[in-house]
Amino acid sequence: FRQSKFMFDECDRLWKRSPIFQNATIKKPTHQSDNCYIEFKSVAGRPGSKIQAIPLGDGSKIRGSRFFSIICDEFPHIPEEIFNMVIRPMAATVADPMENVERLQREKELLSAGLIAEGDIDTKKAANQILITSSGYFTFNHMYDLYSIYKKEMLAGNEKYAVFRISYDLLPDGFLDEDNITSARKEMSSLEFSMEYEAAFIPDTDGFYKASLLEACKDKEYSPQVVGTSGKSYILGVDPARSEDSFAIAVVEINNPARIVHAVEYQKETFPKMASVLEDLCMSFNVQSIYMDAGGGGMAIKDILAENHRSLPGGPILDPEDEAHQQKTGRHILTMCNFGTEFISESNFAALRLLERREILFPSPSRAEALSEQRRNTEDESWSTINRMLQQMQTIIISETPTGKIHFDVPKGAGHGIHKKDLYTAFMLAARGIYDFLWAEGIPDSEIQHAGIITPRKATVAPGLASGYQRLTDMQDHIPEVMQDKLDMIRDPDE
């Protein structure tokens, strides 16, 4: 709905600047939580028309609506099924169907009587239209399929189709801010710049996390959430803010598969504010573990969390590996991560493995409609942040250091602008938390080896295992790869 409102705001601005536009409408533009519209006056006995912005959701609330011109902005993020099953049919009905039926019947009768010829019939009457707009995207998305089909039809002479791909350098001088373009070229990766400013379609990324893989890990069945689900448990991945970086957090639901459900990003916040954000998330979600970078202010945030200045229920958030914290009462859920080369490499490969096995997924845009406007806006912002996270992940490449170590970073000279890795880092830490959780908690007691003998005992769910997470012996169709690895090592430790 956010994108619909962006477009409607442009109509609103035009209305405010144009007395002719204002005189043609019944009243000023109407803004509602789930509907924005401008109504035009009737002309020559014909009913007035309407410009309307509506939330797409899952399509159920707008199914059956009829429009004669439809604009689908940011088309790659509109699910293909909803476009085909809901949006396309909206444009199927003509503006005055019975008048059109009668006109065609008259033309047939005149043709049969020999009173007119085929060439006398006007075949270029105004028809309904669907306009699809977007910046460039990847060729594996359904938008590229339509682009290719429509382009082929247009080149074959079919006047019902028109396709335009316009790069920034084809626009008239002064249309865009040159300083903005220069900054974008410096701060964005070449891939991002090609899509956003050159309207390019990219086959795939060459980075460690390929765009096609991330796209395949999007789950259409769930959307971001800013409050946890009862009975579920969560892990936070936290990248504290350094001098030029942003403070980023990824929230992942412990499940089979695990699901990224929320992400937040802040710039230039104080350490107490960062600690408060973490405390608030722990109240909104049933957080079982927090993985936080020890550098970049992580230790300062840890000290603030241990004080529990706000006297929150559950007590302070503590690090169980810290001897000073071991004697305190509170929530021992904080894991401080030292970003050495080995830890970063292990964490990235663990995250990649989870993605390749579809054991960690990303949401689709929010489709919930029975929400307050504030809640919907918050979930929309969460999805936008997760989308930026995915964009950052696509830029990560690996290289080898002079000492033979693997190095993960953005390409040099293209993408070293500010705020380019923080959300990726938060995801990496959250995924590492899921990987460690599966490794530490997921093995049933019946597989525990005692002095070379497998003792058959009743399988139990490991302590702390989230409600709704299947015990391993119940997983008939899908065993997480990390669990399978551990099982293999336990069953055959000498292999």
Query: Which class for 57: exposed (0-12), middle (13-18), buried (19 or more C-beta within 10 A)?
Result: buried
Q: 78 by DSSP, 3-state: which?
A: coil
pLDDT at 87: 82
CA dihedral 372, 373, 375, 376 (to 10 degrees): 110
Weakly modelled stretches of the chain, pLDDT under 70 = 1, 57-64, 93-103, 107, 115-116, 118-127, 189, 242-244, 366-373, 403-404, 411-420, 440-495
The CA–CA distances, whole Å, from 23 to 8, 20, 38, 45 equal 18, 5, 12, 17
> How large is the greatest C-alpha to C-alpha distance in the chain, in angstroms?
101
Report the alpha-carbon distance of residue 234 to residue 319 in Å, rounded: 17
CATH code of 211-439, in short, is 3.30.420.240
Give which of 3, 72, 5 is closest to 33, Cα–Cα. 5
Q: Is 297 left (phi over 0), alpha (psi -120 to 50) or beta?
A: left
One DSSP character per residue, 290-346 reads EEEESTTTHHHHHHHHHH-TT--TT--EE-TT-HHHHTS-SEE-EEEE---HHHHHH
- Give the other-Cβ count within 10 Å of 59's Cβ: 16
pLDDT at 360: 94
Q: Which residues contact 463 (CB under 8 A, 6 or more apart)?
A: 441
Give which of 238, 309, 291 is closest to 269, Cα–Cα. 238
pLDDT at 147: 92
One DSSP character per residue, 125-190 reads ----EEEE-----BTTSHHHHHHHHHHHHHHTT-TT-------GGGSPTTSS-HHHHHHHHHHS-H
Q: Before 257, cis peptide (omega within 30)?
A: yes
Residue ranges, comma separated, of all CATH 3.30.420.240 domains in the chain are 211-439
Say which residue the tokens 């040159």 belong to.
178
Q: Which residues contact 52 (CB under 8 A, 6 or more apart)?
A: 35, 36, 37, 38, 67
Q: At what angle do helices 481-491 and 341-356 cross, to 10 degrees?
A: 110
| Residues 3-34: tens digit of each pLDDT | 788 888 999 999 999 999 999 999 998 888 77
Distance of CA 368 to the CA centre of its chain: 15
Distance of CA 67 to the CA centre of its chain: 28
Residues linked to residue 299 through DSSP beta bridges, in sequence order: none
pLDDT at 262: 96
Q: Which residues contact 452 (CB under 8 A, 6 or more apart)?
A: none
CA dihedral 198, 204, 209, 213 (to 10 degrees): 130
